Structure 1
């Protein structure tokens, strides 16, 4: 099966491979890097696309509470539905990191629509 429909582009962050060529991100890796970009971009950060990104950055100084966790889950789900049409979100869960009180782990389980392959991603989010 040809996976070109999932995309091919420059890897992020931009770096060189062993042949001093720009690294390329392909297929499911391109989808994963897109998710990282969405979660790592605060809404309003991009001048020409101020609505792009995820609203979790508004919670940086919030208390580590059930309310904050619920709002983060909602923001992540809403942002991925809006900005990453190549996936179906199976589950979004937020758990506190056992080693750091101020860190939450955002666990995203998703399925790539066209290949039906399942993946998960853990995004660290710091409250302070």
Structure 2
């Protein structure tokens, strides 16, 4: 699905995880690509799942959310997690405008915190949301 026409400014890249497509008749195998809004959403997930300092050539890239794993499940730890996510997206993904980042405890699953990011790819478009689960220490 080609969506570059909708968002020409975001570019095209490899889909993650990398997957090889079968070769066309007599052709070569090629890597699956993505573009548009899907490309940006996938880049956000990669950014948030990357630990700060884990990329040699970009040591400041990542969210550092792994530092929150052993924190108690409190409103204060949710606030710190949301602020780390907001900072990571603002610094690591220049193609988006962040409207809101919230983190809330999931009452149905112990230790799970849902982080919702409301963002826009273009300042004139409707916001899009991305919700990622993170896990903290058990109830305090």
3-state SS in 2 of match to 1:4: coil
Using the TM superposition, name which of 107-116 and 13-22 deviates more: 13-22
1:14 aligned to which of 9, 18, 38: 18
> CA contact under 8 A between 1:93 and 1:108: conserved in structure 2?
yes
**Residue 45 in structure 1 maps to residue 54 in structure 2:** yes
- Which TM-score applies when normalising by structure 1? 0.89
* Post-superposition offset of 1:118: 2.0
Unaligned runs of 5+ in 2: 24-28
Structure whose CA Rg is larger = 2
Paired residues in the alignment total: 128
User: Could you list the runs of 4 or more consecutive aligned residues of structure 1 that deviate by over 4 angstroms after TM superposition?
Assistant: 17-20
Q: CA RMSD in A?
A: 1.9
**Residue 113 in structure 1 maps to residue 117 in structure 2:** no
3-state SS in 2 of match to 1:68: helix
> CA contact under 8 A between 2:97 and 2:123: conserved in structure 1?
no
**Residue 77 in structure 1 maps to residue 86 in structure 2:** yes
Unaligned runs of 5+ in 1: none
Distance, in Å, in 2 between the alignment partners of 1:66 and 1:114 is 31
- Which TM-score applies when normalising by structure 2? 0.82
